[in-house]
Amino acid sequence: MLTPIDIQNQTFNKTLRGYDPEEVKTFLRQVAQEWAALLEEKHQLRQKVEQLTTELQRYKEMEALLQKTLLQAEETSRSTLHTAEQKAALLIAEAQQKAQEILAQTERRKEQLEEAIRALQQRRQDILLELRSFLTLQLEKLEQLSQVSGSVISTAATKTNTPVTPPPLTTPPPTTHTWAAKIAEKL
């Protein structure tokens, strides 16, 4: 490569009708200075290219790192979303199962309560029937007793020395509709 010193030290053969040596030297100095400036500019541009190449490489590495980070973030996001969807589905399934269990328990409890209500209603009917029978029997006895008392008083008035024995209670007399019988019927 031609350097500015080569240009300045260049010598030419002299001929009879040649160029003015002083003009040639001045021109060579100018060419050498400009050549030196061009070489310096070339050197600076080469450094600049190297610097820009280094920066470009650094930016490419940053871009690759950002791209990799973005891909990882997307993968993490998809994974997190998938996990959240699975957890949500599991929670929904658990909630539905609990709801079904609660409904089944409630249904069993309802059936138990309905059975208890039926048993209580039956017990009430049985008690009412027993009470009605008891009251009817007591009314019949009362009727018999009042008939016996009335006949004893009338017989005692007519016969003073004859002992009075009440009639047997085994066969009840026909029921008359009195106020006590009406109450028994309402029960």
State pLDDT tens for residues 111-147: 999 999 999 999 999 999 999 999 999 999 999 888 8
Within-domain flag for 6: yes
| Virtual torsion, Cα 144, 146, 148, 149, nearest 10 deg | 160
- Note the pLDDT of residue 61: 94
Cα 187 versus chain centre, distance: 57
Longest dimension (CA), the chain: 208
Residue 103 lies in a domain: yes
Q: Is residue 181 part of a domain?
A: no
pLDDT for 32? 85
35 with 4: CB under 8 angstroms? Answer: yes
CA nearest to 184, candidates 126, 135, 138, 127 = 135
Q: Are 8 and 29 in contact (CB under 8 A)?
A: yes
In a domain, 120, yes or no: no
Is residue 142, in this structure, part of any structural domain at all?
A: no
Residues 157-172: tens digit of each pLDDT? 565 555 545 555 444 4
Residue 44: per-residue pLDDT:
96
Look at residue 119 and tell me if it is in a domain.
no
Alpha carbon separation from 146 to 135, 152, 166, 174, 185 (Å, rounded):
16, 10, 11, 14, 21
pLDDT value for 17: 73
> How far apart (Å, rounded) are the C-alpha atoms in residues 170 and 144?
11
The pLDDT of residue 171: 47
The reported pLDDT for the residue numbered 118 is 95
pLDDT reported for residue 34: 87
Report d(CA 150, CA 157) in Å as an integer: 11
Count of domains forming the chain: 1
Token couple for 46? 């080469």
pLDDT tens sequence across 53-102: 999 999 999 999 999 999 999 999 999 999 999 999 999 999 999 999 99
Domain containing 47: what range?
1-107
Query: Residue 13 burial by CB count (10 A; 0-12/13-18/19+): exposed, middle or buried?
Result: exposed
* List of E strands, 36-97: none
Sign of CA dihedral 117, 122, 126, 128: positive
143 domain residue, yes or no: no
Instruction: Evaluate whether residue 138 is within a structural domain.
Output: no
